[in-house]
Structure 1
């Protein structure tokens, strides 16, 4: 934006420095948020200070600290501290950390060069307004936690994110139909078909489906620890009885690719960086599964007339599974890993011995899987 022409009183003064004709004093307007700072009556000192400030702002230096004579920590630097020191002890699921990483990149770009105590409610609100309600609420919750930690260290006087208002989320996604999911499965590669079948049989989340290993099948059971709820729910430890239906799916997972994971694939090309971060080179990342499912859905073209935001993804396969279990007159609560009051506590003092919840995955999925 081109700055307004300077009036007669301010001609010859550096940008952002103004003369108050009424008082005969100089004042500096901080360009990032318009806040004013009184610089007294000494023209030479005011000009010198304004030039230094303008240079600091141009270089992206410690903005507030330059004005106030204090050292202020950049938000991006504190965000790194939050990632490296605050998050690890929480032992969050890989999927959650991956989602946070996306939000962190957004924060770094939007608040680049800003000090922690320089970020205002308006800055945060403007960023959130550009996002969908769901993403905006996720970012808001994360920023509230970040600024709580920053305030606890004295880096900002209050929490600007907490003063924003959460958005109303309207559930737009529709559920899969049997015909639709069948069409998607037919257009899916073999590994994705296996993932869909496991989701139908076990009603587990994407993260837990991709974490299932062949070695988890023992003594007639398939053992699963739900990553999302392992720290909050007693029902997160599930052992699925290997029924005929489940065994057929597990058997289809065995192919000519040597992999520890039930759902796996041979990548088009191995990338050294990915190979170093993955548990195994055949392991499928959650985002890749989501992308592949979307591609199969688009190829199947099974939900004509539906809006993009209404299109069900892989996550909705779990809802389909629970619906089919209920329709068949079976209890889907233990299958899904929903806690009940009668369940024995797994996380009592000193980590008592884990008590596995037993589930019988005997859903007939032949109508979809053939």
Structure 2
């Protein structure tokens, strides 16, 4: 844990707000609905970090040139970090632990789903005479029926 993160954790641990949760805050006001939604009065709800990130991002003015819906979210920054760790060569197990993911599929979603696909130049240069047609299962359900019918007609 680096110094900035340790300082934040240390502040949370030594906080005068008594709460069993590491990430917590004393609410400015509490009503019955808020209390019913929380496991502890000072616990934060899942969208708290998202809302606070948005608030401080907008207050900083860094993204004023962008429309509010175009500005990066907490999730966008988190996804970028996960992808950068992967691009830097860190093992997926390490990234999973850092991100708190329970499954490799979730980590793969962040790695695979947040980078724009580049077009691939191709040439249709298949030489059909190089294919052994006897090794193809023409009854395979994935082969379009129209194509399988053509093969059946040739055999008749």
Please, what TM-score do these two structures have when normalized by structure 2? 0.51
Q: Deviations over 1:267-305 (max 9, x none)?
A: 002223322332100111233332222111110011232
Pairing partner for 1:326 from 67, 86, 99: 86
Q: Which residue number in structure 1 is paired with residue 10 of structure 2?
A: 251
Matched, 1:297 2:62: no
Matched with 1:281 is 41
Structure 1 residue 327 displacement after superposition: 5.0
Higher relative contact order (CA 8 A, sep 6+): 1
2:148 maps to what in 1? Answer: none
In the aligned structure 1, how far is the partner of 2:22 from the partner of 2:83?
Answer: 24
Secondary structure of the structure 1 residue equivalent to 2:47: helix
> Offset of 1:264 from its aligned partner?
0.6
Tell me how far apart the structure 2 counterparts of residues 257 and 271 of structure 1 sit (CA, whole Å). 18
1:296 counterpart SS class: helix
Structure 2: 5+ residue stretches without partners: 106-156
| Larger CA Rg, structure 1 vs 2 | 1
Match of 1:321, SS?
helix
Q: Which residue of 2 is the match for residue 359 of structure 1? A: none
**CA–CA distance in 2 between the matches of 1:277 and 1:307?**
32
For 1:256 and 1:328, how far apart are their aligned partners in 2? 39
Counterpart contact for 2:58–2:64, Cα < 8 Å: no
User: Are 2:99 and 1:339 aligned?
Assistant: no
Distance in 1, matches of 2:22 and 2:80, equals: 21
Closer, same or farther: CA 277–303 of 1 in aligned 2, 3 Å: closer
Quick one: distance in 2 between partners of 1:267 and 1:292? 13
> When the two structures are superposed, what TM-score results if normalisation uses the length of structure 1?
0.24
Deviations 1:191-216 (A, max 9, x none): xxxxxxxxxxxxxxxxxxxxxxxxxx
- Contact 2:50–2:74 at 8 Å: present in 1 too? yes
More strand by share: 1
**Deviations 1:102-151, CA, capped at 9 Å, x for gaps:** xxxxxxxxxxxxxxxxxxxxxxxxxxxxxxxxxxxxxxxxxxxxxxxxxx
**Whole-Å separation in 1 of the counterparts to 2:57 and 2:77:** 12
Secondary structure (helix, strand or coil) at the match of 1:286 reads coil
Q: Tell me how far apart the structure 2 counterparts of residues 303 and 286 of structure 1 sit (CA, whole Å).
A: 24
Match of 2:150 in 1: none
Is structure 2 residue 73 aligned with structure 1 residue 308?
no
Alignment of 1:114-153 (within 5 A): none
- Structure 1 residues without counterparts, runs of 5 or longer: 1-243, 341-370
Deviations 1:158-213 (A, max 9, x none): xxxxxxxxxxxxxxxxxxxxxxxxxxxxxxxxxxxxxxxxxxxxxxxxxxxxxxxx
- Whether 1:317 and 2:77 are equivalent positions in the alignment is yes
Distance in 2, matches of 1:250 and 1:328, equals 26
Across the two proteins, how many residue pairs are aligned to each other? 97
* SS in structure 1 of the partner of residue 73 of structure 2: coil
Q: How does 1:187-198 map to 2 (within 5 A)?
A: none
